[in-house]
Amino acid sequence: MNKPFSALAAVLLLSSAVQAEDTVNTIVITAGRMAEPLEETPPGTVVIDRATIERSPAQDVADLLRQHAGVEIGRAGGPGQQTSVFIRGADSNHTLVLLDGVPINPGTIGNAAVQNIEPAQVDHIEIVKGPTSTLYGSGAIGGVINIITHGGAPASGIRSQLGLRAGGDNTRSGNASLQYGDEAFHFDIDVAHLETDGFPTRKASDLDRGHRNTSLNLSAGVRVGEADLRLSHWQTKGTTEYLGFALNPLDQDFRDAVTAFALQTSPSAGWDSTLRLSHMEDRIEQNQSDDFARTRRNQLDWQNDIHLGDTQTLTVVATLTREHTDSLSFGAGFNKILDSHEILLQDTLRFGNHDLTLAGRYIHHERFGDTGVWNIAWGYRLSDATRLSVDLGTAFRAPDSTDMFGFGGNPDLEPERSESIELGLRHRLGITGELRAALFHTEIKDLITFQDPDGFLGPQPGMNVNMERARITGLELGYNYTSGPWHLGLEAVFQEPKDRDSNRLLPRRARRSLTASLDYLAPSWDARLELVAASRRNDSAFNTLQMAGYGVCNLSGHYHLANHLSLEGSVLNLFDKDYELASNFRTQDRVFYAGIRFDMR
């Protein structure tokens, strides 16, 4: 395990002699709720663009996310199995996931179902590491992930795409899309389907567990005078097989969906307004029992950006949310409706080489009353190539319905809260790469934990309580390099994510993690090699099991034929490593995939 980290250190020490990538032309929305160059965002901001997604062998969005150090994955088996995302050592339910700007974390279990999102339908992904509750509300203690689908059709003309893929574990997948766009109108139709027999999810069983998933993404937009109107609908539904506690075969049906209407207009010079109405659904129905979990969330989000000259932008956002959750699990059921009203005020100023952002969010929650979070960010450009930044802020997560009303539920819970500081550096050395570094420190209090002093079957049932405290301190390093057809990306995180009361590492979070990618882009073919490595991790707060460190490689490539046709192939887990992302659950053995893709622009 030491070799990958030693190699990264050597590359970073030599980086002053190598030119770095220019990121001026990459525009990010998520980091500040407005368009800004990537190089002016905190160094923990990452963009996974469409070209990278197409070259990656990833089977779902979770596989794409884990290619960036500081974004860790816990997975209970193979495709479609329960997946958790941890950012910078925070809990998995401290990661807020957006789909086209709409929150998709359910109100029942907290974790968004990223394992069900088809990469072929994703245009790009923006990851902002660090607290972002001030911008987006509850749940964004560790960070926010914004998954942007193919909603933006081509500027003019028609584009169509068809892809077919097959490989190990009797996996078959396909996707087809049709897009049209002109100055006044655009639409996008995108369909994808995946079936796999999977592999045994538990180490104590040899029974394969399969997964079936059909995804649909529709959008249409029209320009009327100075206004842009867009209607979109995304959904994925299917069935996932898994094993119960007694290794008994079970399966569940799922459906995740987002429907949204957005109106963008400029009521007057210097005033941009976006009104979005959205409806989100997350449903899980067990097929061998009456258990289920459902979330329906309606949200109105009205953002106004007022440009006061060229150096100042005042942002005002009003958000109204109604969340309806109902569930039955372990014999405990609930049916609840919760409302919240929130207002964000943000002032962004640029003067000389300085950038200053002051932001505050007021929240009125039906159960927790009035609260607030804030953020202060200052950036200073030492030169055209070097930018320093300091970010301070607070964040929170309101307990979800299962925390309060499900098995072990406690309606008297308080929100989890955090305080953070980050010192950051972005540095370009010429025109072909970039070096990034960030020191971060986060204190989290009132963490919710399940307290069960008499044991699961004891006379007094357990209960969720606000008892735990966590402290996370770390250093994050990133490096990109481009030279001709070669593209190299390296990221590493060294962190101490600890429970302050027990002094143990927080479960499923590593002290050290490393990711690397190497691409070669020739005119008629391309190849990509990926590496993910992590040190040992604790499995759970309820046991003393440890998972060993690991390093796993993936290889993929494309050969471009004439007439817009290309062949693709990939090998996952190239060296057939045996490793765990959750104790006693299997991960993918070495497996091969091949496919064909037609792309007409």
Query: DSSP string spanning 417-453?
Result: EEEEEEEEEEE--SSBEEEEEEEEEEEEEEEEEEE-T
Q: Any idea which residue has 């972005």 for tokens?
A: 426
Q: What is the pLDDT of residue 601?
A: 73
b/e map 225-263, b = 16+ CB within 10 Å? eeebebebebebbbbbbbbeeeeeebebebbbbbbbebe
Q: What is the pLDDT of residue 7?
A: 38
Q: What is the pLDDT of residue 453?
A: 64
Is residue 490 within 8 A of residue 8, CB to CB? The reply is yes
Is residue 78 within 8 A of residue 149, CB to CB? The reply is no
Domain count, the chain: 1
Q: Any idea which residue has 């993929």 for tokens?
A: 556
- pTM of the prediction? 0.94
Task: Give the pLDDT means over successive 10-residue stretches in the chain (601 positions).
Answer: 41 34 71 92 92 93 95 94 96 96 92 94 95 96 94 71 96 95 91 97 96 97 93 97 94 98 94 97 96 97 95 97 94 93 97 96 94 97 95 96 92 96 93 92 94 60 89 97 95 96 92 97 96 95 91 96 91 96 95 94 73
- AA identity, residue 80: G
Q: Any idea which residue has 């420190």 for tokens?
A: 441
Backbone angles phi, psi at 535, to 5 degrees: -80, 180
Q: What is the largest CA-CA distance in the chain?
A: 72
Distances (CA, A) of 27 to 11, 126, 252, 274, 507: 27, 10, 39, 18, 35
Contact residues for 245 (Cβ-Cβ < 8 A; gap 6+): none
Q: What is the pLDDT of residue 20?
A: 35
Query: Which domain does 583 fall in, by range?
Result: 2-600
Rounded to whole angstroms, the Cα distance separating 547 from 141 reads 25
Question: C-alpha 479: how far from its chain's center?
Answer: 21
Rounded to whole angstroms, the Cα distance separating 551 from 69 reads 13
Backbone angles phi, psi at 63, to 5 degrees: -65, -35
- What single DSSP character describes residue 505? B
Q: Any idea which residue has 């989890």 for tokens?
A: 416
Helix (H, G, I), strand (E, B) or coil at 62: helix
Q: Of all helices (H) and strands (E), which one includes residue 12?
A: helix 2-14
Q: Any idea which residue has 């499923």 for tokens?
A: 508
**Residue 563, token pair as written in the block:** 């007439």
Q: What is the pLDDT of residue 11?
A: 36
CB atoms within 10 A of CB 26: 15
CATH of the domain at 485: 2.40.170.20
Is residue 98 within 8 A of residue 375, CB to CB? The reply is no
**Residue 518, token pair as written in the block:** 């190497």
Residues linked to residue 419 through DSSP beta bridges, in sequence order: 394, 443
Angle in degrees, CA 410, 468, 500, rounded to 5: 180
